Amino acid sequence: MPIKKSIVVFCGSLREHSFNGAIARSLAELAPEDMTFTVLDGLESIPHYDADIQASGFPAKVLEIADAIKNAQGVAFVTPEYNYSIPGVLKNAIDWLSRVSPAPFAEKPVVIQTASAGILGGVRAQYHLRQILVFLDAYPMNKPEVMVGSVQSKISADGKLTDEATRDFISNQLAAFSKFIDKMS
């Protein structure tokens, strides 16, 4: 029996009925059977990065996430675009995690989905995130890229990703990601 590929999922949006949260929760049902997904919670509880805080110890949540990444075979980022970049809350989690040793993201395969109400689907955030991932030494898969535009029309009232075309895009991306993880291992 093949070992499951466990994926840690960052969601860049905090609100309860977040569209990106709905996508994050949908990954498991859209992925190949050999993948499992754990959507991180508690990003909002991490204080803004401050080296003085770090000097007296990393927040427990940061260490918990670092461990989760270290034990995972891959990382997914599901995020809206705020101000043509990634949300501050997501960047802050990364800022903390980048200080943990050994580096939790090092050589981890990464997959990205962005979603927005506009037509562009958060595309601008993707390349900022990719530049950040160079420093983290993580490897985002190139293709297929997933940007979900007009996301409000693709999520049901009870928070399910219902748009068939988007479901197919993500299924294809996750199938490719499973192979990418194999390649990068």
Q: Please give the residue ranges that form the binding site for its own copies (CB under 8 A).
A: 13-16, 43-44, 46-52, 82-95, 98, 119-121, 123-124, 127-128, 130-139, 142-143, 145, 147, 149, 183-184
Let me know: does 97 contact 62? Beta carbons within 8 Å: yes
Between 50 and 168, CB nearer to its own copies: 50
**Of residues 68 and 184, the one with the C-beta less far from its own copies:** 184
Strand ranges inside 40-171, DSSP E: 74-79, 109-115, 139-140, 146-148
Q: How far apart are CA 49 and CA 59, in angstroms?
A: 10
Beta carbons of 178 and 111 less than 8 angstroms apart: no
- Smallest separation (angstroms) from its own copies to the CB of 79: 12
**Comparison of 60 and 134: residue with beta carbon closer to its own copies:** 134
DSSP H or E segment with residue 36: strand 35-39
**Residue 123 CB, nearest approach to its own copies (Å):** 6
Residue 76 phi/psi, 5-degree rounding, is -115, 140
Whether the Cβ atoms of residue 2 and residue 68 lie closer than 8 Å to each other: no
- 55: amino acid identity, one letter: A
Pick between residue 1 and residue 57 the one whose CB is nearest to its own copies: 57
Query: What is the smallest separation between the CB atom of 93 and its own copies, expressed in angstroms?
Result: 7
In whole angstroms, the minimum distance from the beta carbon of 29 to its own copies comes to 26
